[in-house]
Amino acid sequence: MSDSTTSPADQPPGGQPAGGRRRPSAFRLRFQAVSATLASIPITLFGLVLVTFFIGRVVPIDPVLAIVGDRAPQDVVERTRLELGLDQPLYVQFWRYLEHIVSGDLGRSVMTSNPVTQDIARFFPATFELATVAMVIAVVIGVPLGVLAATRQGKWVDQAVRLFCLAGHSLPVFVLGLVSLLLFYARLGWAPGPGRQSIYFEGMVDERTGILTLDAALAGDWGAFQDALAHLAQPAAVLAMFSLAYIARMTRAFMLGELRSEYVTTARAKGLSRRRIIWGHAFRNTAVPLVTVLAMSYAGLLEGAVLTETIFSWPGLGQYLTVSLLNADMNAVLGATLVVGLIYVVLNLLSDLLYRLLDPRVK
């Protein structure tokens, strides 16, 4: 009777199976995963363009009337419709729209008479500044709160943090913003009024990056810097509230899972300090899934700044999108929507790549 077990001498060199099929290397597996992720970006963007285009065509808003006005003669309306190609079938209109997007042309804004790309480049830095400061506030406060609640599970500190997170999820942004303006601006006078800067400092700082605090610091105008920072603090704190609560809740959940792990029990048995166990071991492993949470929270802040910018009269992309929608400026609405969707795709891709780099177990 022959033995079916293959001896080491019968195996091919290099450790591959006897059938001659070599196991793919770790580098090849990681390269295939990254390539698949990168290949999914054009498909996702195409789906985003498709959805936003047809939503813009089915809404009960006539872009021709938004251009020529409600009282324009019928012949002017029909001529404009022909010039814009709106008399063509939807698939022809979509193909032309796709060609313009590929060439970097998002159309011309009816409201400002400027190219939409130019308007977005002018308004987006304000939103980026607001969302970035709000994200810093959310991370600096939310992560320690989540760790503190996890290490004090069931105690009054944990209950207080959970109540705070519930309030942060439950309070609408517009309610929190209006109450903040009423209390800190109208009643107490601690915060400056709406807007991005006081009238006195308008036009005193040359716009290099579009980020007002950074431009003021680069120019060395510390009076304008303090004024811009004071105007930024209140809307950034309001915008950060929801993400702060979400980050604290997710950090707490991740930390509770790690603190129940066997390696934490082993570390305690070895006599390691509590601080080293929490921050040197448990939080280090928590930071890996937390990357995705932070990336999606940041994307949500960039997209969710619409209400905050409207309440505080912040001249950013959210206010531009709102005003464009109220004025039936569909080119501007679709262009701003595509930019927000692109931000989501890019941040999701970066978080996925960072996840793979930080955690070698992910293939």
Whether 253 is in a domain gets the answer: yes
Kindly state whether residues 61 and 155 are assigned to the same domain: no
Pick from 13-22, 111-120, 146-155, 161-170: least confident: 13-22
* pLDDT for 9: 46
pLDDT at 29 over 80: no
> How would residue 139 be classed by pLDDT, with cut points 50, 70 and 90?
very high
Identify which of 102-116, 242-256, 304-318 has the greatest average pLDDT: 242-256
**For residue 216, how far is the Cα from the chain centroid?**
25
Residue ranges of alpha helices (H) inside the chain are 26-58, 63-68, 74-84, 90-102, 116-151, 156-170, 173-180, 212-219, 222-259, 262-269, 274-275, 283-303, 305-311, 317-326, 330-358
Whether 27 is in a domain gets the answer: no
Token duo for residue 195: 């807007």
Which residue in 330, 308, 284 sits closest to 127, CA to CA? 308
- The answer to whether 111 and 332 have CB atoms below 8 angstroms apart is yes
* pLDDT for 171: 82
End of a domain among 75, 102, 129?
Answer: 102
> How would residue 14 be classed by pLDDT, with cut points 50, 70 and 90?
very low
pTM (predicted TM-score):
0.79
Kindly state whether residues 157 and 250 are assigned to the same domain: yes
pLDDT at 111 over 80: no
> How would residue 315 be classed by pLDDT, with cut points 50, 70 and 90?
confident
Q: What is the pLDDT of residues 318-357, one digit of tens each?
A: 888 888 887 777 788 888 888 888 888 888 778 777 777 7
Indicate the average pLDDT of the chain: 80
- CA 152 – CA 346 distance, rounded (Å): 36
- The answer to whether 143 and 248 have CB atoms below 8 angstroms apart is yes
Kindly state whether residues 149 and 276 are assigned to the same domain: yes
pLDDT at 137 over 90: yes
Kindly state whether residues 295 and 336 are assigned to the same domain: yes
Query: In this structure, what DSSP letter does residue 192 have?
Result: -
Whether 45 is in a domain gets the answer: yes
Which residue in 139, 100, 89 sits closest to 243, CA to CA? 139
* pLDDT for 27: 63
Please provide the DSSP assignment of 234-277 as one string.
HHHHHHHHHHHHHHHHHHHHHHHHHHTSHHHHHHHHTT--HHII
Main-chain phi, psi angles of 190, to 5 degrees? -80, -30
Higher pLDDT, 252 or 42: 252
Kindly state whether residues 197 and 333 are assigned to the same domain: yes
Whether 60 is in a domain gets the answer: yes
Kindly state whether residues 227 and 302 are assigned to the same domain: yes
Kindly state whether residues 165 and 71 are assigned to the same domain: no
> How would residue 358 be classed by pLDDT, with cut points 50, 70 and 90?
low
Whether 110 is in a domain gets the answer: no
Average pLDDT estimate for 206-226: 85
Whether 18 is in a domain gets the answer: no
* pLDDT for 169: 80
- Kindly list the distances between the CA atom of residue 189 and the CA atoms of 182, 185, 213, 249, in Å, as whole numbers in the listed order: 9, 5, 22, 33
Average pLDDT estimate for 137-143: 92
End of a domain among 74, 102, 130?
Answer: 102
Average pLDDT estimate for 202-213: 80
Could you give the maximum distance between any two Cα atoms of the chain, in Å?
98
Kindly state whether residues 248 and 289 are assigned to the same domain: yes
Q: What is the pLDDT of residues 47-84, one digit of tens each?
A: 888 887 777 777 666 667 666 666 777 777 778 778 77
Kindly state whether residues 57 and 149 are assigned to the same domain: no
Q: What is the pLDDT of residues 165-180, one digit of tens each?
A: 888 888 888 888 888 8
pLDDT at 26 over 80: no
Average pLDDT estimate for 113-136: 90
Q: What per-residue string of b and e applies to 207-230 under the rule 16 or more CB within 10 Å gives b?
A: eeebbbbbbbbeeebeebbebbbe
* pLDDT for 8: 47
**For residue 303, how far is the Cα from the chain centroid?**
6
Domains in the chain, number: 2
SS3 of 53-107: HHHHHHCCCCHHHHHHCCCCCHHHHHHHHHHHCCCCCHHHHHHHHHHHHHCCCCC
- CA 96 – CA 101 distance, rounded (Å): 9
Higher pLDDT, 176 or 14: 176
Whether 9 is in a domain gets the answer: no
State the CATH number of the domain containing residue 299: 1.10.3720.10
Kindly state whether residues 53 and 183 are assigned to the same domain: no
Structural domain of 41: 34-102
pLDDT at 201 over 90: no
- The answer to whether 258 and 264 have CB atoms below 8 angstroms apart is yes
Average pLDDT estimate for 197-223: 82
- CA 62 – CA 45 distance, rounded (Å): 26
Token duo for residue 46: 């195409």
Whether 25 is in a domain gets the answer: no
- CA 135 – CA 129 distance, rounded (Å): 10
Kindly state whether residues 184 and 53 are assigned to the same domain: no
Kindly state whether residues 184 and 317 are assigned to the same domain: yes
> How would residue 136 be classed by pLDDT, with cut points 50, 70 and 90?
very high
End of a domain among 102, 130, 147?
Answer: 102
pLDDT at 156 over 60: yes
pLDDT at 110 over 60: yes
